[in-house]
């Protein structure tokens, strides 16, 4: 396998979601279907087993890939342009924690966040600027022929 689990990132995401939902670590373990000792071991730097990892990322509602690092990755150094992957994860966790939004609305907003992040990353990778005029026209259709 070419990647490794980014344990600090997973633990930080769990802690952020736990705090957002006002849960104890024991309550988190119960909701996620893992043992409290698994979370304790993770806090001490030990990686969870595969079943525990799957249960935790499912509880977070975040793709497992978000918690994998690959050779050459330096997640401690944010990219020069565009948002860090942590921003998308944090936004997703905040949206999922909202009790005042229907699930369909949460999913719709998550799709918008994901599409926006991909667009920003694409423009940053192409040497574009996150503050370009493209932001005013997210579909990229322009006003040509619109009669304005």
**Cβ-based neighbours of 90, under 8 Å, separated by 6 or more:** 16
Both tokens assigned to 78: 């944010």
**21 near 46, Cβ under 8 Å?**
no
pLDDT of residue 132: 45
pLDDT of residue 90: 76
Q: What is the mean pLDDT of each run of 10 residues along the chain (148 residues)?
A: 79 87 93 96 93 95 85 50 63 79 86 82 62 45 43
pLDDT of residue 79: 44
CA distance 11 to 20: 14
Q: Indicate the fold that domain 1-71 takes in CATH.
A: 434 Repressor (Amino-terminal Domain) (1.10.260)
**Cβ-based neighbours of 119, under 8 Å, separated by 6 or more:** 134, 138
pTM: 0.52
Number of other CB atoms surrounding residue 138 within 10 Å: 11
Give me the DSSP letters along 2-66: --EE-HHHHHHHHHHHHHHTT--HHHHHHHHTS-HHHHHHHHTTPPPPHHHHHHHHHHHT--GGG
pLDDT of residue 15: 87
Tell me the torsion sign for CA atoms 78, 112, 52, 97.
positive
pLDDT of residue 143: 44
pLDDT of residue 106: 84
């Amino acid at each position: 396998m070419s990647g490794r689990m980014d344990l600090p990132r997973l633990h930080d995401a769990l802690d952020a979601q736990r705090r957002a939902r006002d849960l104890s670590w024991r309550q988190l373990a119960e909701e996620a279907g893992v043992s409290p000792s698994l979370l304790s071991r993770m806090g001490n730097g030990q990686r969870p087993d595969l079943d525990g990892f799957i249960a935790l990322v499912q509880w977070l509602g975040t793709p497992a890939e978000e918690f994998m690092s690959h050779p050459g990755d330096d997640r401690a150094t944010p990219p020069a342009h565009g948002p860090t992957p942590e921003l998308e994860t944090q936004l997703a966790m905040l949206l999922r924690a909202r009790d005042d939004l229907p699930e369909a609305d949460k999913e719709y907003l998550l799709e918008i966040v994901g599409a926006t992040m991909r667009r920003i990353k694409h423009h940053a990778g192409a040497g574009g600027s996150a503050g370009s005029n493209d932001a005013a026209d997210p579909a990229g259709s322009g006003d040509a022929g619109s009669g304005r």
